[in-house]
Structure 1
Amino acid sequence: MAINLQKGQRISLEKSNGTRLERICVGINWGAIEKKGLFGLGKTKEAVDLDGSCILYNENKQALEVVYFGNLQSKDRAVRHSGDDLTGDVNGNDGLDNEVITLDFSILNPSVNYVAFVLNSFRGQDFGTIPFASIRIYEGTPSRVTEVFAKYDIAHDAAFAGHVSMVMGVFYRKNGEWKFNAIGEATKDRKLQETVDTVTRQYL
């Protein structure tokens, strides 16, 4: 049974059969903005560059490493980024994720206590102007979805309109067990570093 979390909900990652979840993915799917041509003639597509990023923190809430389009893999190889998508879907929603970040808990450095996922609009395009943009956090691999934990529709949720960054969620270690906090909140930040600072101050 899928666990579709609401904002602010927390879950344990221990499964009903007693085993623990080992691999999760954060998939982001979005579309280019359609604009009417001059005098209303024809339509043009404006590329949209959304960037998913992952921040690793130690128990003292110090950022150890950021995995993003400029650093596609953590030093321990536990976090991998699929690469930068600069345009979004230009021919309508193909149903596929444009960027995927994979996290393997089994090889994650033991000094990591928090793993935060954030989203930024690189060119400053307001989330509310994008025709479709959705995030899903799920157990599985980039090609196989086993169970979805949380979904956010950031293009059609009024709470995201007027914003260009958000915090998706935070995985955190408590008593040796990983848990997940579905945050799903827009921030006032403009750049990735500002969002990292916001997570450090407010969401760990």
Structure 2
Amino acid sequence: MAINLQKGQRISLEKENGSKLQSLCVGINWGAIEKKGLFGFGTTKEAVDLDASCALFDDTKKLIDVIYFGNLRSKDGAVRHSGDDLTGDMAGNDGLDNEVITVDLGTLGANVTYVAFMLNSFRGQDFGTIPFASIRIYEGTPTRVNEVFATYDIAHSKDFAGHVSMVMGVFYKKNSEWKFNAIGEPTRDRKLEETVRTVTQNYL
């Protein structure tokens, strides 16, 4: 099941051997903005605070829980956030995810039908001004990548320039089987609560 989805694609997450996907992660890696120093001499680094978030909904699209830097664990314990990174990579791309959200589909509450992932620029820094910012959604753990479902390069895509919020993708349950919708679209929202509302209205 070697998959690298483009936005808008939907896939079933049942594996070829019939086993079910259990653990998945969303990882974000980004860098600080480099700025020219006074009178053009040298450079300085401006910290970038991107925030990965996850919202859980039931089958009526009612919001159940939001996991983000201020709430690092879902009520059922199935969703965990690695913690808030306030700066991004200050010394260049280290290749590691700055924030990771982990979901154990097997222990999610039975009432959860949609698991949506969002990204917001906390200080309102335009995605297009960040030197590198990549997203990967994969099967595995924060230390082990088994299978990548989707990747987005939001720093180098003109689609994201001028935006500070985006919807990454939605896992959804249909006939007791989990599927994935790779969305990868910017929104006009400024704050997380606005992005959650956009997800509810447009992407479930």
Range into which the TM-score falls when normalised by the shorter chain: over 0.9
Matches of 2:10 and 2:107 in 1, distance apart?
23
Matches within 5 A, 1:137-176: 137-176=137-176
Which residue matches 1:132? 132
- The structural deviation recorded for 1:202 is 0.1
Q: TM-score, normalised by structure 2?
A: 0.99
Matches of 1:42 and 1:177 in 2, distance apart?
54
**What code does the residue aligned with 1:109 have?**
G
Which residue matches 1:87? 87
- The structural deviation recorded for 1:47 is 0.2
SS at the partner of 2:200? Answer: helix
Which residue matches 2:11? 11
- The structural deviation recorded for 1:168 is 0.2
Residue deviations 1:99-144, cap 9 Å, x none?
A: 0000000100000000000000000000000000000000000000
- The structural deviation recorded for 1:194 is 0.3
**What code does the residue aligned with 2:126 have?**
D
**What code does the residue aligned with 1:33 have?**
I
Which residue matches 2:123? 123
- The structural deviation recorded for 1:42 is 1.2
Which residue matches 1:192? 192
Matches of 2:137 and 2:166 in 1, distance apart?
14
Matches of 1:74 and 1:177 in 2, distance apart?
21
1:182 aligns with 2:185: no
Matches of 2:150 and 2:9 in 1, distance apart?
10
**What code does the residue aligned with 1:167 have?**
V
SS at the partner of 1:76? Answer: coil
Structure 1 stretches of 4+ with a deviation exceeding 6 A read none
**What code does the residue aligned with 1:107 have?**
T
Identity of aligned pairs, percent?
77
Matches of 2:98 and 2:198 in 1, distance apart?
25
Residue deviations 1:142-162, cap 9 Å, x none?
A: 000000000000000000000
For structure 2, the 5+ residue unaligned runs are: none
SS at the partner of 1:15? Answer: coil
**What code does the residue aligned with 1:9 have?**
Q
Residue deviations 1:56-81, cap 9 Å, x none?
A: 00010011100000000001110000
Which residue matches 2:108? 108
Which residue matches 2:47? 47
**What code does the residue aligned with 2:6 have?**
Q
Matches of 2:64 and 2:108 in 1, distance apart?
12
For structure 1, the 5+ residue unaligned runs are: none
Matches of 1:92 and 1:120 in 2, distance apart?
21
- The structural deviation recorded for 1:2 is 2.1
